Amino acid sequence: MVIVTRNSLVECNVCAKKLGVEFGGAPLLKCSKCLEATYCGRDCQVANWPSHRKACAAAVKTAAMREERALARPDLGATEHDVKFFADDITSEVTLLAMRSAFKIGEKDQCSTSRVLRLWFDYDAGAPHLRARFTFARSELVSFEEGLSHLSPATNAQHAGLVASTRLTRAHKEPDYAMGTIVFMMVNKKTGRCWPYMETQMCVRNSAWEFLSAQEMSLNPNWERTFAVALSHPELPGPALLILELFSSEAEERAKEAVWRGLSMMPSSRPRMLREMVKFSGLIAEPDIKEKALRALKELQTRK
């Protein structure tokens, strides 16, 4: 399973060429003013400047306003810090447990390029640890226009071309990846104030899920519960999240046989990998899923 976030998979804002030499792409160039727009070369940067000019100015203005606000109101600066770092901290949970089923990735009616996934959280600034400050409340799929409506005017201007560019570059996206736009809606429990935060390029592999491709894997009808459970205790390692997603989405027998087929391609490593999967399954907090996974994996350990 490969998780790709906006920090590791980037495309040219003009031609959608994949950037980042570590991924076999072109060197990454950024706008020197806003440090947000990305390009594959100077030609694309120059060509995009007329349309990027307003967004660039808005991004620079937003950054300056945030700095001034943080100095004038340290409490607001702390909230913004919490919101951003929490959204970054739960990238694995969002990509593995929320995006696939919410956007119906791998299905005929996949909507990752036509809808925004809004994730609502209650925020308690007084909780001692970052994850404890946020409690998942609900989710909703909305249009791009509605998804952007809660953002500040400056942020809206910055992302003014998002709807068009997302649809325009759909054909250029690498088929192996599904990209989705996530808006985190953080509501302060005491004041009722909402802090929206948007991730515009959260990606996930749609044909390399562990043991089953997205096209073969069932959607998890209870993904919100699975997502909430995963966030209710300290961070789970990636393998544990994969097991949680597999056994939450599939019937026990189907999940078990998928694991067996996958591990049959590496028979010498199978005993060790099954031991590790049993260990990771023990970290799952959801009793029913934990029991189902452990029962299936321990049965596989007895197979020859």
DSSP state letters, 229-298: HHHTSSPPPHHHHHHHHHHHHS-HHHHHHHHHHHHHTSTTTHHHHHHHHHHHHTT---HHHHHHHHHHHH
Check pLDDT > 50 for residue 197: yes
> 3-state class of 216 per DSSP?
coil
pLDDT at 227: 95
At position 231, the amino acid (one-letter code) is: L
Residue 248: pLDDT band (50, 70, 90) is: very high
Residue 162 has pLDDT above 60, yes or no: no
Question: What is the predicted pLDDT for the residue at 75?
Answer: 52
Q: How far is CA 156 from the centre of its chain?
A: 21
pLDDT tens, residue by residue, 7-25: 344 678 788 777 665 445 6
pTM of the model as a whole? 0.70
Q: If you average pLDDT over residues 203-219, what whole number do you get?
A: 69
Name 144's Cβ contacts closer than 8 Å, sequence gap at least 6: 114, 115, 116, 162, 163, 166, 181
Banded pLDDT at 289 (limits 50, 70, 90): very high
- Give the tokens for residue 180: 């989705």
Residue 204: name the closest of 184, 168, 180 by CA.
Answer: 180
